[in-house]
Amino acid sequence: MKSFKSVVIAGLSVLVFTAAILLPVSSASAQSSAALSIVPKKNYVIEPGKSVDDKLTIRNLDRERELQMSLRVVDFTYSDDGGTPKLMLAADAPQTAWSLKPYLKLPEFVTVKPGGTTTVDMKVSIPKNQGAGSLYSAIVYSTGASEGGNVGLSASGVTLAFVSIPGEVNENLTLEKFGAYNAPSAGNKGGYVFVTADKPKTIAYTLKNDGNVTEAPVGTITLKNMFGQEQVIDNVNPNGSLALIGQTRTFTACIKLQTADVDFEGSSTKSTACADPGLWPGLYTATLDLYYGQNGNNTKEINSTVNFWYLPWWFVIAVIVLLLALAYGIWRLVEKIKGRQFSNQRKKLSRRRK
C-alpha cells in the first residue's frame, strides 16, 4: 500500500509543477480615440532630387461641432517591440537620423465643418545629395497648441509618413525569437510560450533591424503536429507592418485567420481576427521561412525551426489520472502475483511436513 501512496504523491507533484509552468501573469491596458478620421499611414518612393505632391483627407466625425485642428510634423521612434510609435512631441526634441521633417511641408491649421471632410495639400521634397534608405516622421493633428507641449492623443490623430529612397542600402534583419505566442489580454501579459495550457492562436517572431531602411518581411510558417500533419500560414505579415531602423519588433501571425465585414459610419470595411485553430494537445513543430529586401537589392532569407507543447488542463489531469490508474493496476497485479507465490510456498511447506 505504501508503494501506491508514493505513486499518488508523485502524480500530484507533477500536477503542481505543471501548474507553476502554465499559470498566466495578469496585466491591464487601455486605449482611447477622438472624433477624427484620417489616413493612418502614407508611403512614398522618391528618388533624390525629386518631390511628390499629395493631399491629406481629414474627416470630422462630430456632426454638431466644428473641428479646428493644428498640424505639425514630429519625429517618432518605437516605444516597445510592438507597433506603437513613440512620438517626440517636445519642442526641443532632437532630430532623428531618419527624420523626414526638413523635407515635408503642409499647412499649420485646418478647420473641418461638423460631419464634413476637408483635404489639405502636402509636399515631400528629397534633396539631390540624399543617400538611399528610409526616412519617416509623423503628422500630428491636434485641437491643442501648435507648438510644444505633450498633446493628449485622445484629442489628436496621427499620420505616419514613410519615404523610401531607391538605391543600394544596408539591409540587416536578425531573428531574436520565434515560437508560439499568447497575445496580451485581460489577466495575461502575453509572450512566447514553450508549454501552454491555453490554446495558442498565434505564432510570432521577433526581428532586430540593424540596417538603414525600414523592412516589411514576408514569408510562411509551417506548423506540424506530432503525427506529421501540416498547416501552413501563408502570410506572416498580413498588415505589412514595418521593423523601424534600430527597432527590435515582434510580428504575430494567426494560425487560422477569419475575416468579417464591419459597417462604420455608412461604409463597409474588412475586419480580421484570429480564429480557433483547432489544435489538439501534444507537441508541435513550427518552421519559419522569411524573406525581406528593398527593390533593387538582393532578397535575403531567414529560417528557423522551434517546438512547443500545447497541454490543456483537462488533458494534463486526464493523463495523470490515467497514469495513476495504470500504476494502481500494476500494483494490484504485483500484489496478486505475490499472494499466489506466498500461497504456493505455504502449500509446498505443508506437504513437506506431512
Separation of alpha carbons 349 and 247, rounded Å: 84
pLDDT confidence of residue 72: 92
Q: What is the pLDDT of residues 108-127, one digit of tens each?
A: 999 999 889 999 999 999 99
Q: What is the pLDDT of residues 128-172, one digit of tens each?
A: 999 999 999 999 998 754 444 333 333 468 999 999 999 888 999
Separation of alpha carbons 261 and 221, rounded Å: 26
Q: Are 177 and 190 in contact (CB under 8 A)?
A: no
pLDDT confidence of residue 135: 95
Query: Which CATH number is associated with domain 170-311?
Result: 2.60.40
Q: Evaluate if residue 281 carries a pLDDT over 60.
A: yes
Phi and psi of 305, rounded to 5°?
-135, 130
Q: What is the pLDDT of residues 216-271, one digit of tens each?
A: 999 999 999 999 999 999 989 988 889 999 999 999 999 998 876 655 455 555 66
What are the cell numbers at 158?
A: 496621427
pLDDT band at 182 (very low <50, low <70, confident <90, very high): confident
The DSSP bridge pattern shows strands 300-310 and 195-196 to be: parallel
What are the cell numbers at 167?
A: 538605391
Q: Which homologous superfamily is 36-165 in?
A: Immunoglobulins (2.60.40.10)
Separation of alpha carbons 120 and 134, rounded Å: 24
pLDDT band at 186 (very low <50, low <70, confident <90, very high): low
DSSP for 19-53?
HHHH------------SEE--SEEEEE--TT-EEE
Separation of alpha carbons 165 and 145, rounded Å: 33
**Direct distance between the N- and C-terminal alpha carbons of the chain, in angstroms, rounded to an integer:** 35
Q: Evaluate if residue 287 carries a pLDDT over 70.
A: yes
pLDDT band at 47 (very low <50, low <70, confident <90, very high): very high
Q: Are 18 and 316 in contact (CB under 8 A)?
A: yes
Q: Are 15 and 316 in contact (CB under 8 A)?
A: yes
CB atoms near residue 49 (< 10 Å): 11
User: pTM of the full predicted structure?
Assistant: 0.73
Give the residue carrying C-alpha cell 505589412.
240
- Lowest pLDDT segment from 56-65, 153-162, 331-340: 153-162
CB atoms near residue 296 (< 10 Å): 10
- Lowest pLDDT segment from 1-15, 127-141, 291-305: 1-15
pLDDT confidence of residue 238: 82
Q: Count how many Cα atoms sit within 13 Å of the Cα of residue 171 in the half-sphere of its side chain.
A: 22
Separation of alpha carbons 70 and 55, rounded Å: 16
pLDDT band at 190 (very low <50, low <70, confident <90, very high): confident
What are the cell numbers at 265?
A: 459610419
Mean pLDDT of the chain: 81
Residue bearing the bigger pLDDT, 86 or 349: 86
